[in-house]
Each structure stands twice: as structure tokens, then as C-alpha cells.
Amino acid sequence: MAVLTVLADQDRFGQPVTFLNGQFNTKVSGTDTGGALCMIDTVRTRRGGPPLHFHYEQDELFFVQEGDFRFLIGEELFDLKPGDFIFGPRRIPHAFANLSETGRLMVGFQPAGTMEAFFAAGLRDPNSEAFRELSRAHGMEVVGPPLAL
């Protein structure tokens, strides 16, 4: 495989996605790793985040780059700042919220699954039935609301 370089604020394919409360730039695609991993740089343009959910077949990795984020993993709450990392194991319910006006979070999925297609759908209402259906179609279950701010 050739070396892959994706510059800051750029998407791997030149096609950033708007999803929930921000812009999502794929940095490493599942197509680059034989499906083993994908990494997505998310630039959050307002507070909030996804509803409480879990992935049947994927672990989720989070690295805070800018702003303040609150995470619920299982039954534990964590407040993270730039440079902090947290791991969300598959089948464990989790949610997070950007607590800052803006924030930046690198998110990884192992294996990649169909997360890139999930984000490409561009849904912005995490409380909608359409979001629940889209989640199910991509191996996730929504099991609660977004974290309260």
C-alpha cells in the first residue's frame, strides 16, 4: 500500500460531509485498510452530539483535539479536554456532547464497517426516527437521547 497523506482540514476524497453538528472529513477510509479501520476528523460547529447508542460489531475511538467534550460510556461520565482519548467498546452504550461553542474530535471505528456511508447520509436530527432507522441499517442501535447539556 502507498503512503497516505491527508492535510489538515481536508477530506480523504475531497468530499467532506455535514452530519449532526459539524463537518466530517475522512482521514483514513475503510477502503484504505481492507475494512479494518476508518478515521474521521469531526469539526463541531455547535454544542451537542449523537444520541445514546451502541455498535454491534465496532469499537469506537475518540481523541479530543479542540474544545471540551462530555462522554457517557456505559454508566460512567467523563469530561475530556484537548489531548484526551477515550475508548468505546462495541456493544456498550455511549454518547458524547461538545460542550464548547466549537470543538474538534477525531473518531475512529474498528472495524470500519459502513460508517462512512452512515455519515454520508447527512442526517442532522439525532432525535428523528430517520436517524434510528439509518443507525440500524449501519449496525447500531439508538437506546436513548443525546446527552443533556
Q: What whole-number distance in Å separates Cα of residue 149 and Cα of residue 140? A: 23
Nearest to 79 by CA among 57, 59, 99: 99
Q: What is the mean pLDDT of each run of 10 residues along the chain (149 residues)?
A: 89 94 95 97 95 98 98 98 98 97 97 96 88 96 95
Q: What is the pLDDT of residue 1?
A: 61
Q: What is the pLDDT of residue 80?
A: 98
Distance (Å, whole) CA 142 – CA 50: 9
The per-residue pLDDT for 65 is 98
The Cα 110–Cα 25 span in angstroms is 17
Please tell me the pTM assigned to this model: 0.94
* pLDDT at residue number 37: 97
